[in-house]
Amino acid sequence: MASVKGDDSFFHGKMECTGVLLVNLGTPEEATPSAVRKYLSQFLSDRRVVEIPRLIWLPILHGFVLRKRPAESAKNYQKVWTDEGSPLLSISLQQSKLLQQEMETRFSGPVQVQLAMRYGNPSIKSGLEALQQKGARRILVFPLYPQYSATTTATTFDEIARVMAGWRWIPELRFINQYHDFPAYIDCLAKSVKEHWRKNTAGEMLIMSFHGLPRRNLDLGDPYFCQCHKSARLLAKKLYLKDTQWKVTFQSRFGKAEWLKPYTDETLKSLAAEGIKSVDVICPGFPADCLETLEEINGENREYFLNAGGENYHYIPALNNMPEHIHVLSDLIQKHTQGWKETSKDWSASVVEKNNQTSKKLAIAKGAKI
């Protein structure tokens, strides 16, 4: 257990606030092999991400994977890198800023939004410490994963617990486990699809591609596969699609083990071979565009489909900074912070009363008769 440290920002009477820690997966700091190697080392060393026994996995990771894969991945990152750097980081930072503005509109009390990445920077540790410095006595942890998985949501919890093991005063904590069937989230996805169809002719089929997991995870009780399918069913229903007009697929597999099926790349190849000429692809598990959506789905998989005989391929972007998406995330924050004083309607009155009590105590201390 980490040694318990003092909080050098603490003083009695410090103004309190509610904190919201937005957490996404992470990204290398640069699109270079060395930066990618550092990122992958942290990511692939996580016991929840790779459940192979350490004695077997670590020699493979350091003896093979981290020697070969960083250079290959860096080339892919370079394809999507922008003037602002990583697309995932720049979009996530903008989301946090827009959510901060929304919090100031919705709540009378102080609510501070802080962004963190599970791997890389800004780290969960730095995000929590920033909220601690701001006086957050209540913190909502908001992993930006609509569908729960031990490889994403649970490992966020692990890191929160690891960091706070060294804190002296633990804040009240709440944790958003998932929001795969949150009605406003489904409505927002449907709006993005409809907006795409309004500007472009709808494809013959809508592919809903989710990040893959080893099949073993499902067999061991991870609900991710089921939640992905429920999100997809709800979206298809909202769009009035027939069963023949949509499919759920899984992307980004790694290694030789069986992963969740059907695979996105193989599905696109087979659809084109079967005579499907046009498809639309959306990734409902990604709240912000990143390497997996921009390079893998909008690049690599596009080529698979077109090279197999397809003619029209459209990627529907992630919800990113759509005003409706920011509203959805704000609704979730409001839902999960109910009862906390900064988000209560009577916050202003309680602060006035607290200040009055403090003034009385100071006056009594100085000898005044109250």
pLDDT in tens, 291-339: 999 999 999 999 999 999 999 999 999 999 999 999 999 999 999 999 9
| 82 beta partners | 85
Domains present along the chain, CATH in parentheses: 17-179+322-348 (3.40.50.1400), 183-316 (3.40.50.1400)
Q: Say whether pLDDT at 26 is over 70.
A: yes
Q: Which amino acid is at 15?
A: M
Q: What is the mean pLDDT of residues 32-50?
A: 97
Kindly report, residue by residue over 108-137, the tens digit of the pLDDT.
999 999 999 999 999 999 999 999 999 999
**In whole numbers, what is the pLDDT of the chain averaged over residues?**
93
Gap between the Cα atoms of 183 and 58, Å rounded = 42
Residue 325's pLDDT is 98
| 139 beta partners | 19, 173
Task: Report if pTM > 0.75.
Answer: yes
DSSP letter for each residue of 288-305: S--HIIIIIIIIIHHHHH
